[in-house]
């Protein structure tokens, strides 16, 4: 066999290997079928015609924007990548959870401490947010700590089923390493069951539904947390079909402190309703990235996040602490890497809102907020 032919055969074999690796596991990663989800979704308040719906008129993509979106995808796909390494801190968890603190692991993954409990949000430890291990948005910085070193958590919260918020491999690892229950919006339990999560560790809630950790057998020294599934303005889907599972934000209310995890959402009047019914919140974790004028209904921009914080704090922009999430870790839009945080800091300063912008891995205690040294300025 000639050298060229041998090289061609080798290249072909490598290509086949790459394709196999790229598609391997995709059906499992995509989660449960509609037929598995349907029995749980059917009774939900916003479920009709086999889909969930926002309570406010919402479009995933503005009418007529497809051509400009394609142009951006061809010409601006790398704009959101940092120009240098993103600095990390090694997470330092105290032996006992604090009354209020948060460690940001990147994107929407946080470890929130409220009245002695630890709550893990939207855990994603995989390299890519995609059903494929070879194709799809990859991390812009490493995970600051292996999942094996995560302290014991009391509950895992999931906001919705998009790949950057619900990751099959991370879920499976948490099942092996932790005993915490998963609190999820209606329908997502079907994905978890599909991946082997035990039924007794799955709690599905509709908007407005609540559960106490004491009721789940997680009470600690007589203290309790009430966790409420609150309305968000977004969409769902892990394949071509959309909105077969519900999306949500989460309220975490303890005896003395209150935290709000926004997940991924557009600006909505539901923030004001949550602030009135469940707030004012001492800590808000709100998305500030992956926004675009072509999808304004389903992703907030940084200024809207500052406005949402005020809504969640009873109309008082100076109450509590805003910590931004949903930026810096994955390139999911066409804005600059540091643009979200620059705009948020400016808007917060104008509104009189206290903010803390942790590095990935950094723990923030609202009573000891780190200085806003602009660690992001020379990166994006």
Q: What average pLDDT score do residues 269-274 get?
A: 98
Same domain, 19 and 166: no
Q: Are 361 and 144 a contacting pair, CB within 8 Å?
A: yes
Is residue 40 included in any domain, yes or no?
no
Among residues 333, 345, 338, 249, which one has the least CA distance to residue 293?
333
Which pLDDT score, from 0 to 100, does residue 134 have? Answer: 87
User: CATH no. for residue 295?
Assistant: 3.60.15.10
Distance CA 68, CA 293 (A): 11
Is residue 12 scored above 70 in pLDDT?
no
Same domain, residue pair 188 and 332: yes
Clarify whether residues 22 and 147 are in a common domain. no
Q: Please give the helix or strand (H or E) that residue 190 lies within, else none.
A: helix 188-194
Residue 215 domain flag: yes
Q: What is the pLDDT of residues 88-110, one digit of tens each?
A: 999 999 999 999 999 999 999 99
DSSP at 195? T
Confidence of residue 7 (pLDDT cuts 50, 70, 90): very low
**Please, is 95 exposed, middle or buried when counting C-beta atoms within 10 Å of its C-beta (0-12, 13-18, 19+)?**
exposed
The H or E element spanning position 191 is helix 188-194
Q: What is the pTM of this model?
A: 0.94
Q: What is the rounded (10 degree) CA torsion for 143, 147, 148, 152?
A: 130
Asked whether residue 160 is domain-assigned, the answer is: yes
| Residue 221 confidence (pLDDT) | 75
Question: 146 and 4 share a domain?
Answer: no
Closest CA to 88 of 40, 8, 127, 142: 142
Judging by beta carbons within 10 Å of its beta carbon (0-12, 13-18, 19+), is residue 25 exposed, middle or buried?
middle
Question: Distance between CA 326 and CA 298 in Å, rounded?
Answer: 13
pLDDT at 222 over 90: no
Q: Is residue 224 part of a domain?
A: yes
The answer on 338 and 221 residing in a single domain is: yes
Check residue 165 and give its pLDDT. Answer: 98
Judge whether 234 lies within some domain: yes
**310-354 pLDDT, tens digit each:** 999 999 999 999 999 999 999 999 999 999 999 999 999 999 999
Query: Of 30, 285, 38, nearest to 163 (Cα)?
Result: 30
On whether both 242 and 331 belong to a single domain, the answer is yes
Domain range for residue 1? Answer: 1-29
Do 24 and 105 fall within a single domain?
A: no
Number of independent structural domains in the chain: 2
pLDDT of residue 217: 86
| Per-residue confidence (pLDDT) for residue 9, from 0 to 100 | 47
């Amino acid at each position: 066999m000639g050298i060229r032919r041998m090289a061609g055969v080798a290249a072909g074999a490598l290509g086949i290997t790459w394709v196999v690796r790229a598609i391997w596991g995709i059906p499992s990663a995509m989660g449960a079928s509609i037929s598995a989800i349907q029995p749980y979704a059917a009774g939900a308040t916003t479920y009709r015609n086999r889909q969930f719906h926002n309570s406010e008129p919402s479009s995933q993509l503005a009418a007529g924007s497809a051509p400009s979106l394609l142009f951006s995808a061809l010409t601006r796909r790398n704009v959101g990548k940092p120009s240098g390494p993103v600095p990390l801190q090694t997470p330092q968890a105290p032996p006992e959870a604090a009354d209020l603190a948060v460690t940001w692991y990147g994107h929407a993954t946080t470890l929130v401490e409220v009245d002695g409990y630890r709550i893990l949000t939207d855990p994603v430890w995989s390299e890519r947010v995609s059903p494929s291990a070879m194709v799809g948005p990859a991390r812009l910085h490493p995970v600051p700590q292996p999942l094996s070193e995560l302290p014991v958590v009391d509950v895992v919260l999931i906001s919705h089923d998009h790949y950057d918020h619900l990751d099959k491999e991370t879920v499976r690892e948490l099942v092996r390493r932790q005993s915490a229950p998963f609190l999820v919006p209606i329908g997502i339990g079907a994905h978890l069951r599909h991946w082997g999560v035990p039924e007794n560790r799955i709690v599905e809630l509709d908007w407005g539904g609540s559960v106490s950790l004491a009721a789940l057998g997680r009470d600690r020294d007589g203290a309790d947390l009430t966790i409420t599934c609150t309305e968000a303005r977004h969409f769902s889907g892990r394949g071509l079909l959309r909105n077969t599972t519900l999306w949500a934000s989460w309220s975490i209310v303890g005896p003395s402190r209150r935290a709000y995890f926004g997940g991924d959402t557009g600006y909505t009047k539901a923030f004001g309703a949550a602030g009135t019914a469940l707030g004012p919140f001492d800590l808000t974790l709100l998305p500030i990235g992956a926004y675009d004028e072509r999808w304004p209904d389903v992703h907030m921009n940084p200024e809207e996040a500052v406005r949402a914080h005020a809504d969640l704090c009873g109309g008082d922009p100076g109450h509590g602490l805003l910590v931004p999430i949903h930026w810096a870790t994955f390139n999911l839009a066409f804005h600059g890497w540091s643009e979200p945080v620059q705009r948020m800091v400016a808007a917060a300063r104008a509104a009189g809102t206290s903010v803390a912008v942790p590095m990935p891995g950094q723990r923030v205690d609202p009573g000891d907020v780190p200085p806003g040294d602009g660690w992001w300025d020379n990166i994006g």
